[in-house]
Amino acid sequence: MNLLALDTSTEACSAALSLAGQISVREVEAPRGHAELLLPMVDELLGEAGIALTDLDAIAFARGPGSFTGVRLAASVVQGLAFGARVPVVPVSTLAAVALRALETARHEGLDPHEIWVCNDARMGEVYHAVFTASDIAQAAANAANLVESVSAPTIVAERWGSRSGRGLAIGAGHGFRAYPELAALPGLAKVYPDLLPRAREVLALAIPAVEAGLGVDPTQALPIYVRDEVAKVPGCHSAATRVV
């Protein structure tokens, strides 16, 4: 299988290519300039592999939630590349990508968590969050359209997750734990990885079973998921505490 994956949902900009099981990646963390970085990464990966876009079986991308500009960038680039190459697209949740990275990191350290609590900073006093079981990460990501993701105030997340203590070994991941340290102190968390960001290599890994299952979509359906509609608070206005897709 030949599969390309892109992620610009956070300050990390990355691309990954799987060519008959051999994986190559390009990654850089930059506060801005992802639009100028992404396509050269793709050109390098394809050039080194000696293939064209038309040789791909699909293109995957991190659909969000994340930076509004970042998820729009990845979606628009993927739409253009996939439409021109006539290949399907696989949208992957950024929260699932963080969960997979955390799971692999924990297992490398000798931990075997049952649950991964992902929490990314959404700014404006809110966090994007989701809970994954270790056995269901790939299944949830492969069926990203049905994945439930929320944005809530940290106090709401603490109330929800506080009741999960005792359900098995759990770990936390995402920069929401760094922005709101009180979440890292929740009972039941064996370890927290507050600096893990989604990357194209995890998006790639999660997209492979989706492609194998024929779950790719038409390029016109390569749409970002914002979860929250508001980009900034307007004085005198209050957004709903939670939005669910």
pLDDT in tens, 4-43: 999 999 999 999 999 988 999 999 988 788 899 999 999 9
pLDDT at 81 over 60: yes
Residue type, 138: A
Cβ burial, residue 156 (10 Å; 0-12/13-18/19+): middle
Band of the pLDDT at 144, cuts 50, 70, 90? low
Question: Which is more confidently placed, 147 or 114?
Answer: 114
CB within 8 A of 198, min separation 6: which ones? 7, 9, 10, 12, 62, 66, 94, 95, 97, 98, 101
- pLDDT at residue 126 in the model: 94
What's the average model confidence in pLDDT over 38-66? 96
Domains and CATH numbers, the chain: 2-93+198-231 (3.30.420.40), 94-193 (3.30.420.40)
Quick one: pLDDT band at residue 99, thresholds 50, 70, 90? very high
Parallel, antiparallel, or unpaired: how do β-strands 126-133 and 150-152 relate?
Answer: antiparallel
Residue 164, number of CB atoms within 10 A of its CB? 16
What one-letter code names the amino acid at 143? N
pTM: 0.89
Per-residue model confidence (pLDDT) at position 215: 86
* Bridging pattern class, strands 22-29 and 12-19: antiparallel
- Band the pLDDT of 237: cuts 50, 70, 90: very low
pLDDT on residue 31: 78
pLDDT bracket for residue 125 (50, 70, 90): very high
Closest CA to 100 of 202, 16, 211: 202
Position 145 pLDDT exceeds 70: no
Q: Answer yes or no: is pLDDT of 136 > 60.
A: yes
Q: What pLDDT does residue 229 have?
A: 64
Model confidence at 236, pLDDT cuts 50, 70, 90, reads very low
- State the average pLDDT over residues 46-61: 97
Return the higher-pLDDT residue of 239 and 178: 178
Q: Is the dihedral of CA 40, 44, 47, 49 positive or negative?
A: negative
Q: In the structure encoding, which two tokens stand for residue 149, read together?
A: 């993701």
pLDDT of residue 242: 34
